[in-house]
Amino acid sequence: METVAHIPPYSLNQDEEKKLILREYRSLLKILKSRIKPGDKLLLRSAFELAADAHKTMRRKSGEPYILHPIAVAKICVEEIGLGVRSSICALLHDTVEDTDITLDDISRDFGEEITRIVDGLTKIANVVDVNASQQAENFKRILLTLTDDPRVILIKLSDRLHNMRTLDCMKREKQLKIASETIFIYAPLAHRMGLYTIKTELEDLAMKYMEPDTYREIARKLAETRKERTKFINEFIKPIRDKIEQAGLKADIHGRPKSIHSIWNKMKKKGVEFEEVYDLFAIRVILDSAPEKEKEDCWKVYSMITDEYSPSPERLRDWLSNPKANGYEALHTTVMGAQGRWVEIQIRSQRMNEIAEKGLAAHWKYKEDAQDESRFDKWFQQIREVITNQETDSIDFLQDFKTSFLAEEIYVYTPKGDVKMLPVGSTALDFAFSVHSAIGTKTIGAKVNHKLVPISYRLHSGDQVEIITSSKQKPSDDWLSFVVTSKAKGRIRDALREEKRKVADEGKYVVQRKLEGMGVTVSPHNIDELVNWYKLGNHLDFYYQVAVKGIDLKELKEFKVSGDRIEAPRPIKTTPLPDRPEIIPHHLMPRKDAELIIFGERSDKIVYNLANCCKPIPGDDVFGFVTTGKGLTIHRTNCPNAAKLLAHYGHRVVKTKWAKNKEISFLTGIKIVGIDDVGMVSKITNLISGELKINIAAITIEAKEGIFMGNIRLYVHEKEELEALVAALLQVSGVESVERYDMEDIPA
């Protein structure tokens, strides 16, 4: 579902609109032509007419007729994912139950049970992200349960999200941020895990376009400027490889493609380098036309030819031929040294492997009969189902657990008998133990990795052989949750801790029962609720547990009033609900602060705020306001490391904000400087900052080692432009190599 508005048409008259809608529908039929069987055309026409009629009064934010959106989603399903007629029908109908008077019964009557089930899943998925966190987790579980029954639900939803991201320009800024954050937080990782690499890449790039527009435009500009030089390099690099492949009698398509803007940006951040220093801006792809029984052999032959011509980096060989990824991805990846000292990544795969890489799960179904290990997806779905059905329904941690457990890259580890286990990157020996069996996990006291004794928190690597050591006396503890990453392990540990807590709480319940009986009342829900509220605890279990461990004293019960079989607290229980919006405070009543910042919300009223410590925003930064419990409004940068999670999980707490002009107020920020150690360098830097630019330095530390100096400077600036001018000036100082602003919570104290 997307937000719609009943606004006038953009430019076309009614007849022109009808022609446009029919043209788009016929375009869908054209790309479905090879898949349409007898009777399909009539069913497609019925779905189109039903959706067109249901959405006839609705328009997208751009002003165009809403029906163009479901048609576009259906085309993405077919062209870019490889789905067929039934999925196209579901795509055409995907918003009807959510947004119009059409019911599931109507769809069931006209289109049957299978399509109804998928549309129902798509309707539920539409409600995931606009509610509170616990409800969001619950909805997401329901979606994933539907996914395990019929993965087409998530594939159609990804098509819907991709089209919305492609047409996000007409939305308001805060809506763009929210949708982009959901995309980067949930949908891009899900597309990746489904094997839809092209869609995952585009979702990441589009999200970045709205979340970090300046950086996105800058990298796009530099990619365009270097395209000619890059094409020349690629052609020269490919020629000797193509010659060798042809001489060997193999058929292959070889081409180079640029890396995505988002992946280049990630590399720049991870390695702390500028665009010009990112050498692997592109990847070479070798796609072989090989018979199924010769695929692996031919891929290794090509690898041998490439490494004869260019020197490989041994650490960068990735063999997904022997052990395909959980989503079915198969390929050989290697990185070799080309001309001009450039590292070049090469991906080698067959046409079948390439289709699975491009179309993911849909292609996996197509080749399932021929695949030797067709159960990989089935195993993955089964793991998801097992975790969902065993987890507590109110687990707010569910979404994060799901991301780390099921959307991460995998490692392959071995049991003592040589069986392979796939686990997410970062998994520990304890995760492995729970993957073998829950009963083994809860009794684990240590492990042997490659025959060496290690603690249960030891992080595993691909190729490790793991033997688990157990003890019947062992019990899970709270600290276990801090180092396991799989949902199964976290769920089982929480279950065990809850069970242990219940046993202790039973003792507390007996104590409370005796106390209340002494007062002449029973252990009724009302009486326990009154006590839970009085002692400010979350639920009955926590209350009984605190009584058992002597965390609270029941002496205060004598102050309670008794009326029949009910007790009443001696004073009203006050609760302070979190406001949907921050309290608006008149300007003349606002407290004066040394660093007061005025931010304008939707009503252009002045409000009290806090600046987030995680990203240290300053005037000029792209920011949003977030209502926090007990702290009012907190201002975050849109590229804050926590932004995606906050915007995706708690969109209802986001307040539109922008900076007011105020040159009298300064804000604390920080910069890192790296350069060549030289006499007088500190003096040059401080003279420039304090003397020439008149910027106040709060703290400075500079360390020199082996001819290189690294400096950390905390300083006060009025706005982002002033900081950018300072960075530019420092880069002109002889010997200074790099200057960058601090990110996250690492401004040194």
Tell me phi and psi for residue 748, to 5 degrees.
-65, 140
Residue at which a domain ends, from 494, 511, 545: 494
Residue 381 belongs to some domain of the structure:
yes
Residue 411's nearest CA partner among 427, 387, 394, 389 is: 427
Would the pLDDT of 28 be above 80? yes
Tokens of residue 544, six digits: 């009984």
pLDDT value at 372 more than 70: no
Give residue 44's pLDDT: 92
Q: Supply the pLDDT for residue 505.
A: 84
Regarding whether 391 and 342 lie in a shared domain, the answer is no
Position 297 scores a pLDDT of 93
Q: Which of 332-336, 523-527, 569-573, 632-636 has the least mean pLDDT?
A: 569-573
Residue 432 has pLDDT above 90, yes or no: yes
More confident residue, 425 or 444: 444
Proportion of the chain above pLDDT 90, given as a percent: 18
Question: For residue 359, is pLDDT > 80?
Answer: no
Say what the pLDDT of residue 10 is: 56
Q: How confident is the model at residue 333 (pLDDT cuts 50, 70, 90)?
A: very high
Question: Are 41 and 167 part of one and the same domain?
Answer: yes
Choose between 73 and 584: higher pLDDT: 73
Question: CATH number, domain at 699?
Answer: 3.30.70.260
Average pLDDT (203-209) is 92
pLDDT value at 396 more than 50:
no
Q: Does some domain include residue 450?
A: yes
Kindly state whether residue 440 falls inside one of the protein's structural domains. Answer: yes
Is residue 580 assigned to a domain? no
Q: Contact 609/634 with Cβ under 8 angstroms?
A: yes
Say which of 24, 40, 99, 374 is annotated catalytic: 99
Whether residue 576 is contained in a domain is answered as: no
Same domain, 148 and 102: yes
Higher per-residue confidence, 65 vs 361? 65
Please give the single-letter amino acid code of residue 515.
Answer: K
Residue 1 inside a domain? The answer is no
How is residue 399 written in tokens?
Answer: 């979404």
Residue 431 pLDDT > 90, yes or no?
yes
Report which of residues 721 and 149 the model is more confident about: 721
Task: Please tell me the predicted confidence (pLDDT) of residue 143.
Answer: 54
Q: Is the pLDDT of residue 245 over 80?
A: yes
Higher pLDDT, 371 or 617: 617
pTM of whole model > 0.75? Answer: no
pLDDT per position as a tens digit, 502-514: 888 888 888 888 8
749 lies in some domain: no
Give the pLDDT of residue 376.
54
End-to-end CA distance of the chain: 46
Q: In the annotation, is 692 catalytic?
A: no
pLDDT of residue 388: 58
Q: Are residues 299 and 182 in the same domain?
A: no
Element (H, E) at 467: strand 466-470
Residue 445 token pair: 């006291």
> Does residue 362 have a pLDDT over 70?
no
19 & 152 share domain = yes
* Shared domain check, 236 and 202: no
Q: Span 536-543, mean pLDDT?
A: 78
The residue with greater pLDDT, 100 or 362, is 100
For residue 398, what is the domain's CATH number? 3.10.20.30
Residue where one domain finishes, among candidates 433, 459, 494: 494
**What pLDDT shows up at residue 578?**
40
Residues 71 and 103 in one domain: yes
pLDDT at 366: 53
The pLDDT assigned to 495 comes to 85
pLDDT at 258: 81
Tell whether the model's pLDDT for residue 317 goes beyond 50. Answer: yes
Confidence tier at 8 by pLDDT (50, 70, 90): very low
Looking at the fold, whether 489 and 509 belong to one and the same domain comes out as: no
In a domain, 4, yes or no: no
Where is average pLDDT lowest: 140-144, 488-492, 673-677? 140-144
pLDDT score of 244: 93
Total domains present in the chain: 6
Predicted local confidence at residue 643, as pLDDT: 77
Q: Are residues 164 and 60 in the same domain?
A: yes
Confidence of residue 744 (pLDDT cuts 50, 70, 90): very low
Region 433-456: mean pLDDT is: 88
pLDDT reported for residue 371: 41
What is residue 703's predicted lDDT score, i.e. its pLDDT? 85
Q: Are 165 and 183 in contact (CB under 8 A)?
A: yes
Band of residue 68 on the pLDDT scale cut at 50, 70, 90? very high
Q: Which residues form the domain of 450?
A: 376-494
- Return the number of other C-beta atoms located less than 10 Å from residue 579's C-beta: 11
Work out the average pLDDT over 306-315: 87
Q: Mean pLDDT of all residues in the chain?
A: 78
pLDDT band of residue 349 (cuts 50, 70, 90) is very high
Residue 597 pLDDT: 40
Distance between CA atoms of 489 and 227, rounded to whole angstroms? 47
Of the residues 24, 98, 149, 309, only one is catalytic, namely 98
Co-location of 326 and 423 in the same domain: no
**pLDDT in the model for residue 361:** 63
Residue 623: closest CA among 606, 587, 598, 603: 598
Give pLDDT, residue 329. Answer: 82
Query: What is the structure's pLDDT at 428?
Result: 92
The pLDDT of residue 303 is 93
Tell me the residue ranges of DSSP E strands in 235-281: 252-258
Given a cut of 90, whether residue 92 has pLDDT beyond it is yes
pLDDT of 241 > 60? The answer is yes
234 plus 344 within the same structural domain: yes
Three-state secondary-structure class, residue 447: strand
490 and 501, same domain (yes or no): no
pLDDT at residue 717 in the model: 85
pLDDT surpassing 60 at residue 602: no
pLDDT of res. 374: 41
Q: Give the pLDDT of residue 565.
A: 80
Q: Catalytic annotation on 205?
A: no
pLDDT tens digits along 638-673: 878 777 777 766 666 777 777 766 555 677 888 989
Interacting residues of 499 by C-beta distance below 8 A, sequence separation 6+: none
Please check the confidence at residue 603 and state whether its pLDDT lies above 60. Answer: no
Give tens-digit pLDDT for 404-420: 555 566 777 888 887 77
pLDDT band at 46 (very low <50, low <70, confident <90, very high): very high
Q: Looking at the predicted structure, is the pLDDT value of residue 70 above 90? A: yes
Q: Which pLDDT score is estimated for 247?
A: 92
Query: What pLDDT was estimated at residue 398?
Result: 57
Instruction: Choose between 559 and 83: higher pLDDT.
Output: 83
| The pLDDT of residue 501 is above 80 | yes
Average pLDDT score over residue span 552-569: 76
Q: Are strands 252-258 and 282-288 parallel, antiparallel or unpaired?
A: antiparallel
**Residue range 587-602: average pLDDT?**
36
> To the nearest whole percent, how much of the chain has pLDDT over 70?
80
Q: Given strand 444-449, what is the order of strands in its sheet?
A: 452-454, 444-449, 466-470
Task: Mention every residue, 6+ apart, whose C-beta is less than 8 A from residue 724.
Answer: none
Per-residue pLDDT at 305: 93
Structural domain ending residue among the three candidates 462, 494, 526:
494
259: domain CATH number?
A: 3.30.460.10
pLDDT digits (tens, 9 = 90+) for 457-473: 899 987 788 999 988 88
The number of beta carbons lying within 10 Å of the beta carbon of residue 130 is: 15
Query: Is residue 101's pLDDT more than 90?
Result: no
DSSP one-letter string for 166-221:
HTGGGS-HHHHHHHHHHIIIIIHHHHHHTT-HHHHHHHHHHHHHHHSHHHHHHHHH
